[in-house]
Amino acid sequence: MITLTIGEIATAVSGRYDTAGTDATELTAVSGHVETDSREIETSGIFVAKPGDVTDGHHFVGAALQNGAALAIVEHRVDVAIPQIIVDDAVDALAALAAEVVRRVKAQGTLTVIGITGSNGKTTTKNLLGAILSPDAETVTPRNSFNNTVGAPTTMLRVTESTRYLISEMGASGPGHIAHLAAIAQPDIGVELKVGMAHAGGFGGIEQTAAAKTELVAALSADGVAILNRDDPRVVAMASQTPARVVWFGEHNEADVRAADINVTAAGTQFTLTTSDGDSIPVSFKVLGEHHVWNALAALAVARELCVPLETAVRRLESVTRAERWRMEVMGGRDKITIINDAYNASPDSMAAALKTLALITPRQQRTVAVLGAMSELGEFTGDEHDRIGLMAVRLGIDQLVVVGPEARRLHISAINEGSWDGESTFMQTADEAYEYLADELRAGDTVLVKSSNSVGLRFLGDRLGELFS
């Protein structure tokens, strides 16, 4: 974070300063990272004591002090000898502090903020863009999937006076969330990847999801740039909702940054990159899955707007070997058994894309195995969407389906009801049962996809299988 005095921080968050028996004054400067987890605190850091669903951050102010915290932002005074700023709402204070820090750095005229949203692909795209931009200048990107009302401001607070690029991943589980994050970050460039059924339960349906995703480009100024997916009709409709200049990416002939001649293999994806400037460059993209081509194009479109030479951007893109931990992560190898661990998150769209990739990259003579768990946060659409994935697994010709957990049982039933399967779909109550079954069931040459929402925890099953067959 940039250096601020305690007094400046208190003003920014509309808080009241309490020395809590220390020698610190309002003129004491603080410049460490801001964290809501006391375990992540480093020397001179700021701890935000956020009440949570399970526990209360105020219980961990002492631990934050022991780990080096120089200041705590709290909702009530804590009996710990650390300077404290008392606020009405810790999460609101976090947002206010992030907005002030970003505002100050942007006022220097050297910081460009890129906001990225979409139902799928945000984390992959920010990682790809980070890999392209960071060799040239200080670039701040979110850790993991820090994209909500707590994680996104925490990332923004990592900017310093020398930061050139801030990449802000903007997620939402309801209307207004992205508008809130955009108001904090004031993005110069907004990237809209895709509108799908992820978190549909919170939005109330896909049209409401589209409206919420539009909040990012609607927040751009006339001097900004909206990077939009030309292949998604709901994203195309956003062009009329932004005052910013529009740049298109996709496979469509009208895209300014376009992929053609796409070829997907187990080693990655090859395509020809063309631009509206007349450039044409072959790309060998190592991240597995055709659906990640859109993410690559979005990152390249942003890099093009930031004047990164196209050849340089492509070379850096090609150096990325995986989207993210537990996202289409290729593991295993013994007896030519390949484990694809893609169980960090799952929506109907990403589940469908992963199944299609499994079917596409597996040689005809080898067996496809899909280990699937539940897709969460779908609300009233849960049953229908699990039915659809079960039917898709059958129609894609997946050889063996292993469904894990009671929340996903409907997927198993739908696959059985679809037709003439005889034992090709198996249901397991727990990940441990699935592991024992697969340890005996998998055979040489199998390609195995492990996919579920994060809350189901199948990513750890994928890790165990990857280690077993390494």
Residues annotated in a binding site for ATP: 118-124
Amino acid (one-letter) located at 458: L
Binding residues: 118-124
Q: Give Cβ neighbours of residue 120 (< 8 Å, ≥ 6 apart).
A: 193, 194, 196, 198, 291, 347, 349, 350, 353
d(CA 201, CA 210): 13
Looking at the domain assignment, is residue 97 inside a domain?
no
Instruction: Mark whether 280 and 341 lie in a shared domain.
Output: no
**Which residues, including other chains, have CB under 8 Å from residue 162's CB and lie 6 or more apart?**
138
pLDDT of the chain, 470 residues: tens digit per residue: 999 999 999 999 999 999 999 999 999 999 999 999 999 999 999 999 999 888 899 999 999 999 999 999 999 999 999 999 999 999 999 999 999 999 999 999 999 999 999 988 898 999 999 999 999 999 999 987 778 889 999 999 999 999 999 999 998 878 899 999 999 999 999 999 999 866 565 666 888 889 999 999 999 999 999 999 999 999 999 999 999 999 999 999 999 999 999 998 888 899 999 999 999 999 999 988 888 999 999 999 999 999 999 999 999 999 998 777 777 898 988 999 999 999 988 889 899 999 999 999 998 899 999 999 999 888 888 999 999 999 999 999 999 999 999 999 999 999 998 865 566 899 999 999 999 999 999 999 999 999 999 889 899 999 999 999 99
Cβ(116)–Cβ(170) under 8 Å?
yes
Whether residues 63 and 133 share a domain: the answer is no
d(CA 377, CA 249): 29
Q: Is residue 123 part of a domain?
A: yes
Nearest Cα to Cα of residue 3 among 59, 61, 44? 44
**What dihedral do alpha carbons 289, 230, 181, 121 form, nearest 10°?**
0
Domain count, the chain: 3
Residue 101 lies in a domain: no
**Integer Cα distance of 208 and 198 in angstroms:** 12
**Contacts with 71 (C-beta within 8 Å, 6 or more apart), sequence order:** 6, 9, 24, 30, 46, 47, 82, 83, 84, 85
Same domain, 154 and 247: yes
CA neighbor of 190 nearest in space, from 219, 149, 152, 165: 219
Q: Which amino acid would we find at residue 39?
A: R
Domain of residue 81, residue span: 4-87
Strand 268-275 vs strand 280-285: parallel, antiparallel, or unpaired?
A: antiparallel
Which CATH number characterizes residue 277's domain? 3.40.1190.10
CA distance 424 to 422: 6
Q: Domain check: are 279 and 414 in the same one?
A: no
| 289 and 395 both lie in a single domain | no
pLDDT of the residue at 172: 81
Euclidean distance between CA atoms 293 and 15, whole angstroms? 46
Helix axes 348-361, 382-395, angle to 10 degrees: 10
189 within some domain: yes
